[in-house]
Amino acid sequence: MTLHQLSASEVVNLVKEKKVSVSEIIQDLYDRIAKVDPLVKAFLILNQEEALKQAKEIDTKVKKEEELPPLAGLAIAVKDIIATKGIETTCGSRMLKGFYPPYNATVIDKLKEAGAIIIGKTNLDEFAMGSSTENSAFGPTYNPWDLERVPGGSSGGSAAAVAADEAFIALGTDTGGSIRQPASFCGVVGLKPTYGRVSRYGLIAYASSLDQIGPITKNVSDSALLMRIISGPDNRDSTSVDLPVPDYLKSCQEEIKNIKIGVPREYFVEGMNFEVKDVVYQALKLLEELGAKIEEVSLPHTEYSLPTFYLIATAEASSNLARYDGIQYGYRTENYKDLSSMYQRTRSEGFGPEVKRRIMLGTYALSSGYYDAYYLKAQKVRTLIKEDFTRVFSKYDILVTPTSPTPAFKLKEKMADPLTMYLSDIYTIPVNLAGLPALSLNCGYSKGGLPIGLQLIGKPFEEETILRVAFNYEQNNKVEKRKPLQNLSPQKMVG
């Protein structure tokens, strides 16, 4: 049995049935990481000693036939922007290198209580600002499907770890597509929950009105499994919503006959990769065969999403990142004359180019004389974008679109042109502006063998519906199930 290739649900069941020890599972994963991560570079930090200790504790409970928590023995990778007590949390930045949070994020507490084991922290674009995981201060992550291509971003490390079987499941964060786009590029499932469904306490903020934590998994049912654990209100996060948490796994089992699906015409435009278009249309055909009713719809303000997002997100980033000044914690320059030069040098040396670019954009948008013309206007357009979705969802259950206009692009291909890079998120950004739930899952491959993602967008707090449609699609599609890292020569593998 190749343990690291199992799904999260399979691992949990094997542990409960006493067919394998948790220690064996965790050791097998670390062996896998030692073999392939020198190539993929998904992880920044490993938690091996603590993880193996926790595995032994669960094995002892199994031997004593004690009741096990729902995720007992499940190894999970965590994006390194989520606070983990006693485990370094860097946000992929020199600014926070050496920072050990004195507390856990709420999602981490919930996972630990459920018996999950954190195996390590994954790489990301610095402070989650990027679409390729090339902006990390500690080097890029590589796409397991093609090591010369990006895994997407900013949760590229999490998506690559799951795709490469270095973790059964991972946590990512999504501000403008940072769970769904890397899930698409790496051929896995990524779910961005409704804003407020999952607590943001302990998520180091990029853009507070947009950020959301969600799962990256090998299949749809594993996303449903994790959502059941991490969802729910939190009195430490005033934006979390006090609503009942559904049984997402149960929802997956229902049929999709008569589900009404809208296909926004604005998402199928010039410049879109023809292979992506073909594969997405094939997916829509299958959903129709399964009983869904499909019609074209319009979201007329979609074209304004990108500039609206990059005004609101950068303004919030400018405010949130002002705290990194070299005084209380984090990086501080060694070369300064006075307080002013210390601030300036600390921030100049501690932040990378993309973070500086976004701080400057946001500071400009918030500055006196420009606030009304830029930030306030962007908030008004955001309302129009949200109203587009509200109007369409009065008639349709979900929307189906491509996740990204292209498959994974090559490393350094878009680094010289930030605008071209920003366009990678053109299909995911509107969802964050409207606070909606959305999921990406693999729906096929390009002729070059690269995964292509299908995006399902749902009504607020109706993650059940998108999981149900995604599960039905996943169970019935005839797309060949492929695995990355199959063609590597033994010389390239370590160990």
Closest CA to 460 of 415, 393, 369, 395: 393
Residues 6+ apart with CB under 8 A from 220: 189, 252, 439, 441, 467, 470, 471, 474
Closest CA to 130 of 95, 156, 163, 96: 156
Residue in 9, 131, 154, 424 annotated catalytic: 154
Residue in 41, 61, 79, 192 annotated catalytic: 79
Q: Is 79 an annotated catalytic residue? A: yes
Distance from C-alpha of 4 to C-alpha of 7, rounded to nearest angstrom: 8
Q: Find tokens 């997100």 and name the residue.
A: 313
Query: Are 432 and 213 spatial neighbours (Cβ–Cβ below 8 Å)?
Result: no
| Amino acid occupying residue 287 | L
Q: How is residue 495 written in tokens?
A: 């160990």
Distance from C-alpha of 50 to C-alpha of 237, rounded to nearest angstrom: 28
Question: Measuring CA to CA, how many Å separate 224 from each of 124, 237, 340?
Answer: 24, 23, 50
Query: Are 153 and 131 spatial neighbours (Cβ–Cβ below 8 Å)?
Result: yes
Distance from C-alpha of 399 to C-alpha of 263, rounded to nearest angstrom: 6
Sort 176 into a burial class: Cβ within 10 Å, 0-12 / 13-18 / 19+: buried
Q: Find tokens 């053109």 and name the residue.
A: 426
Residues 6+ apart with CB under 8 A from 258: 291, 292, 293
Give the orientation angle of helix 22-40 with respect to helix 8-16, to 10 degrees. 160
Query: Are 368 and 232 spatial neighbours (Cβ–Cβ below 8 Å)?
Result: no
Annotate 231-256 with DSSP letters as a single string: BS--TT-TTS---PPP-HHHHHTS--
Query: Are 258 and 290 spatial neighbours (Cβ–Cβ below 8 Å)?
Result: no
Distance from C-alpha of 216 to C-alpha of 76, rounded to nearest angstrom: 10
As beta bridge partners, residue 121 has 45, 78
Residue in 178, 223, 440, 446 annotated catalytic: 178
Residue 313 phi, psi (nearest 5):
-65, -45
Distance from C-alpha of 133 to C-alpha of 198, rounded to nearest angstrom: 24
Q: Catalogue the active-site residues.
A: 79, 154, 178
